[in-house]
Amino acid sequence: MSLRIIQTSDIHLGALFLFLKDKSTLHGKKVISAFKRSIDYAIKSKADVFFIVGDLFHTPFPDKYVQQIVIDELTRLSESGIKTLLLPGNHDHVEGGIFDDIKFLARLPDEVMLLDIKGIEGVKIEELGIRVYSQTVFENILDFDILQDNLINIALIHASVDIGKGSERKISLERMKSWDLKYIALGDWHGFLEVDKNIYYSGSPEILSSDQDGAGFILDVLIEEKGVLVKKIKVSEIASVKLEIDISKFSSLDLLLSHLKEKGNDNTIANIELKGLRSLDLLLDIERVENYLEDFYYHLNIKDMTLFKLSDAELDDLSNDMLIGSYVEFLKTKKESGEISDAVYEQAIQVGVNLLKGNNAN
């Protein structure tokens, strides 16, 4: 027997993307589009079941427009014979919220199953040959009462696994592995992550924050007797990139701006770090640079980590300072003795003196 699962989580329909300013409404539509493409893929691939592992909505009280989108899209799945397993997350679950709304629940197709946030005993789905356990972790993780029979044991868990990334909702990986489940679908982290050979985060189908890594995918999970095969499927329109620019390579602001324009893309969120030593003549006004480049990127953040390159005359003047003077003399001695190269000496002088002067860009 084989089972094809399409896994997604942390869609956050209805979120406000205020960091994008005038593009906030547009990005809300892109999040909806990524969700719809997830449904398209599930139908095209003839999946057996569609997993939503928490935080379908950004809030427990989504507006009627967002609710209607969910009804329409899950109905498309249902009409294609695909069952949906929907787990509330920490963002969209609260007593009296959307998942307690009788009117909303009544409009969901019959093929949609709302999972218990403390489904530790599991629920049998005989037509799929699986038993599904579920949990959304607000405080402490609970152990599942795993049954061993002819059904495939699977869990949907909205929580964070402790693998050194830091989180308030942690599960020990060893503890999860001890449950001996065929597959564990995770939600809560917004980027794709293979935790173990049968434990995966899909991440968000569309980027939700400016510095987000690994978002933009759903997972195509094929479970067979011989094992589990997981494929990443890209559904996002927007990409997030990090760029480190050595400003010492640019003799003028015009050359720097031309370089950044060439790197631009209408579908890219760029997080740019300017590093290195710059001359006093190269004046940077980060807000003006961002405003100048905003038409060349979907969104960009620029962080100035540069230090001023000091001239020989300026270094001589600063040598009267006891601390800076001692530092400069120490480096000169090291260079003259051959312990450090001219290049290392120059870098150490420039960076060290800037730091001692308090020019540490953050």
**pLDDT tens by residue, 136-167:** 988 788 888 888 888 999 999 999 887 665 55
pLDDT digits (tens, 9 = 90+) for 59-79: 999 999 999 999 999 999 999
The answer to whether residues 39 and 73 touch, using CB atoms and an 8 Å cutoff, is yes
Q: Is the pTM of this model over 0.75?
A: yes
- C-alpha 193: how far from chain center: 10
pLDDT at 175 over 50: yes
| Banded pLDDT at 191 (limits 50, 70, 90) | very high
Is residue 170's pLDDT more than 50? Answer: yes
Question: Residue 345's pLDDT is what?
Answer: 72
Residue 289 one-letter amino acid: V
> Distance between CA atoms of 204 and 34, rounded to whole angstroms?
9
Q: How far apart are CA 204 and CA 257, in angstroms?
A: 32
- Select the highest-mean-pLDDT range: 10-19, 33-42, 176-185: 33-42
Which amino acid is present at 335? K
CA separation for the pair 104, 313 (Å, rounded): 74
Dist. CA 17–CA 114, nearest whole Å = 28
Q: Which of 72-76, 121-125, 256-260, 355-359 has the lowest mean pLDDT?
A: 355-359
Share of the chain above pLDDT 90, in %: 59
pLDDT (average), residues 21-27: 92
Q: Is the pLDDT of residue 357 over 70?
A: no
pLDDT tens by residue, 230-260: 999 999 999 988 999 998 888 888 888 999 9
